[in-house]
């Protein structure tokens, strides 16, 4: 059996299903290009039947792909499969991925008995294989499916022409020993199991997604389905960076290899965090801000004497630079470009010009601009097409009386001014926005993080809002926490406006529901 483990990235499909993580068309193309350059073997670009937007994104990614196989997801019916093929057929290496839930709970949804489901699997895999010679079949909720029926369905899928068999732990229910044993037993007992690649797709509901995926590899799986930063529904999916670096560092017990250029990990992690609006927790393995930070005196002393004392891998292995030299207000455009390149951000002249203006503005307010400050600048997600733009904000606050916010907000090109009060400066600011642009969105999340240390540190604010089932996230950073809060709130509203327009009656996404869009 080969020691090559294929990396199947589903950030653009399963990762995007995380509430509030929806990406724009251009953002999807950008992430797909980064995944391709990083060495990902298979990119699951989306769910083509879900909407015209998703179809177009998958189709465009398929046309632009250079190395990776491009995969689309489809439910077990001919309409989904045909739509999927229409999107991925442009790729030099296309793949159709079709699935159906096989556990008792999932069989009850389409109200199929075992024989009916077995027939559905045979017909759909056969149909997909007639279109494409690279077909993946998934038994959704496989880890809660009766053994005899799981074995039967896998056998049917292989005989119908599937080339990859995926065994998803859809709700993060299994544990490492079970994960390894399940794959091993299928390989041993299913006819012609040696003619296909077995894949593992784990969720992190019990915090064991990485462990379960690596155990499945030890059981014989040779494909891991994962996402950047572990992005995904509920507690997320297996994190690409964790499984890749675990196999790289622990070759003594996991003698496997991948084609991933690990030096690109930090850059894509930051970019996915930006476009999804989901910050990486500070203590996240591999890509967290504190992953290579040492504060304890004992740890610092050990690091000074020998880095291997408290680090099992080098920061450079995942794309972190060894130094963090700050820039200042006298730094020029060439110095900024060099620093951004060092951080993994390649920018065109126009994009650099925009960042340079914001950098100079920040440098006038801060003595030193550190790496994390620059990353925060780049992560701001406002665009020229936004209908709402903050033009001015003045807040009066104190211990006595209600706080007051005076705001100038540009709405569709016209400036509007109002004053509003609230229970604190941020509440007053949000009330001012609502007074100028009435909406029914509900604030689900409001988070503030200091980017660096010091009283002049930038604050990064994340806001998540929900309106009629649509969820959007906004982010912004500023040395003034209230200004950052206002910009993040407006960012989220702009994204909700786009979603509202796309799901209006008569639009291509009207009535689409994503509840059954994956494993």
Q: How far is CA 387 from the centre of its chain?
A: 26
Which pair of structure tokens corresponds to residue 217?
Answer: 């590899």
Which pair of structure tokens corresponds to residue 193?
Answer: 């199991």
**How many Å from the N-terminal Cα to the C-terminal Cα in the chain?**
27
- DSSP class of residue 310 equals T
Kindly list the distances between the CA atom of residue 364 and the CA atoms of 374, 400, 450, in Å, as whole numbers in the listed order. Answer: 14, 32, 18
Residue 245 contacts residue 286 (beta carbons within 8 Å): yes
The candidate with the shortest Cα–Cα distance to 128, out of 81, 77, 62, is 81
Which pair of structure tokens corresponds to residue 454?
Answer: 């010091």
**What is the SS3 assignment for 504?**
coil
- DSSP class of residue 325 equals P
Residue 82 assigned to a binding site: no
As a whole number of angstroms, the distance between CA 372 and CA 351 comes to 18
As a whole number of angstroms, the distance between CA 382 and CA 171 comes to 35
As a whole number of angstroms, the distance between CA 193 and CA 438 comes to 59
Residue 330 assigned to a binding site: no
Kindly list the distances between the CA atom of residue 506 and the CA atoms of 51, 185, 502, in Å, as whole numbers in the listed order. Answer: 12, 50, 9
Give me the phi and psi of 17, to 5 degrees please.
Answer: -75, -10
As a whole number of angstroms, the distance between CA 472 and CA 444 comes to 10
Q: Decide: residue 148, CB within 10 A, 0-12 exposed, 13-18 middle, 19+ buried.
A: exposed
Which pair of structure tokens corresponds to residue 368?
Answer: 């030193």
Helices (H) and strands (E) in the chain, counts: 16, 14
- DSSP class of residue 379 equals T
Residue 388 contacts residue 410 (beta carbons within 8 Å): yes
Which pair of structure tokens corresponds to residue 506?
Answer: 């008569």
Residue 14 assigned to a binding site: yes
Q: Order of strands, edge to edge, in the sheet holding 470-478?
A: 442-450, 459-467, 470-478
As a whole number of angstroms, the distance between CA 32 and CA 64 comes to 9
Residue 106 assigned to a binding site: no
Which pair of structure tokens corresponds to residue 359?
Answer: 């950098």
Q: Kindly state the helix (H) or strand (E) to which residue 20 belongs, with its residue range.
A: none
As a whole number of angstroms, the distance between CA 150 and CA 147 comes to 5
The candidate with the shortest Cα–Cα distance to 139, out of 148, 130, 361, 232, is 148
Residue 339 contacts residue 333 (beta carbons within 8 Å): no
Which residues are annotated binding-site positions for Mn(2+)?
Answer: 14, 201, 203, 237
Which residues are annotated binding-site positions?
Answer: 14, 201, 203, 237
């Amino acid at each position: 059996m080969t020691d090559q483990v294929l990396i199947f990235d589903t950030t653009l499909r399963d990762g995007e299903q995380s509430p509030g993580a929806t990406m724009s068309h251009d953002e999807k193309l950008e992430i797909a290009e980064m995944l391709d350059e990083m060495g990902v073997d298979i990119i699951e670009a989306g769910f083509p039947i879900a909407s015209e937007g998703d179809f177009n994104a998958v189709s465009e990614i398929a046309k632009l792909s250079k190395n990776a196989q491009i995969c689309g997801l489809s439910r077990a019916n001919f309409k989904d499969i045909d739509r999927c093929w229409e999107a991925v057929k442009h790729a030099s290496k296309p793949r159709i991925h079709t699935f159906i839930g096989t556990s008792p709970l999932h069989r009850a949804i389409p109200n199929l008995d075992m024989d009916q489901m077995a027939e559905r699997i045979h017909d759909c895999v056969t149909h997909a294989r007639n279109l494409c010679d690279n077909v993946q079949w998934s038994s959704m909720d496989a880890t809660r499916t009766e053994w005899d029926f799981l074995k039967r369905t896998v056998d049917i899928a292989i005989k119908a022409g599937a080339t990859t068999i995926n065994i998803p732990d859809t709700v993060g229910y299994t544990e490492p020993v079970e994960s390894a044993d399940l794959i091993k037993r299928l390989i041993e007992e299913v006819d012609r199991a040696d003619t296909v690649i077995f894949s593992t797709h784990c969720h992190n509901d019990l915090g064991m997604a990485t462990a379960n995926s690596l155990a499945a590899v030890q059981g014989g799986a040779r494909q891991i389905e994962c996402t950047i930063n572990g992005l995904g529904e509920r507690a997320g999916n297996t994190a690409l960076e964790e499984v890749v670096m675990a196999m790289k560092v622990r070759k003594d017990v996991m003698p496997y290899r991948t084609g991933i250029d690990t030096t690109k990990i930090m850059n894509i992690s930051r970019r996915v965090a930006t476009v999804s609006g989901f910050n990486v927790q500070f203590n996240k393995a591999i890509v967290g801000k504190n992953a290579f930070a040492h504060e304890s005196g004992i740890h610092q002393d050990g690091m000074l004497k020998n880095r291997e004392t408290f680090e099992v891998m080098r920061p450079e292995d995942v794309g972190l630079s060894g130094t963090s030299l700050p820039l200042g207000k006298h730094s020029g455009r060439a110095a900024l470009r060099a620093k951004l390149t060092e951080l993994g951000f390649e920018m065109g002249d126009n994009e650099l010009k925009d960042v340079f203006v914001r950098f100079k503005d920040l440098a006038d307010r801060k003595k030193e601009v550190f790496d994390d400050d620059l990353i925060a600048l780049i992560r701001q997600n406002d665009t020229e097409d936004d209908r709402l733009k903050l033009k001015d904000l003045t807040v009066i606050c104190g211990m006595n009386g209600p706080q007051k916010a005076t705001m100038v907000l540009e709405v569709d090109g016209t400036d509007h001014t109002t004053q509003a009060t609230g229970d604190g400066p941020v509440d007053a600011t949000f009330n001012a926005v609502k007074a100028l642009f009435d909406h029914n969105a509900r604030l689900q999340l409001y988070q503030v993080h200091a980017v660096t240390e010091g009283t002049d540190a930038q604050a990064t604010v994340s806001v998540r809002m929900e309106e009629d089932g649509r969820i959007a996230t906004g982010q912004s950073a500023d040395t003034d926490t209230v200004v950052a809060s206002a910009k993040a709130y407006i960012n989220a509203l702009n994204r909700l406006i786009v979603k509202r327009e796309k799901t209006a009656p008569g639009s291509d996404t009207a009535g689409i529901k994503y509840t059954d869009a994956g494993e």
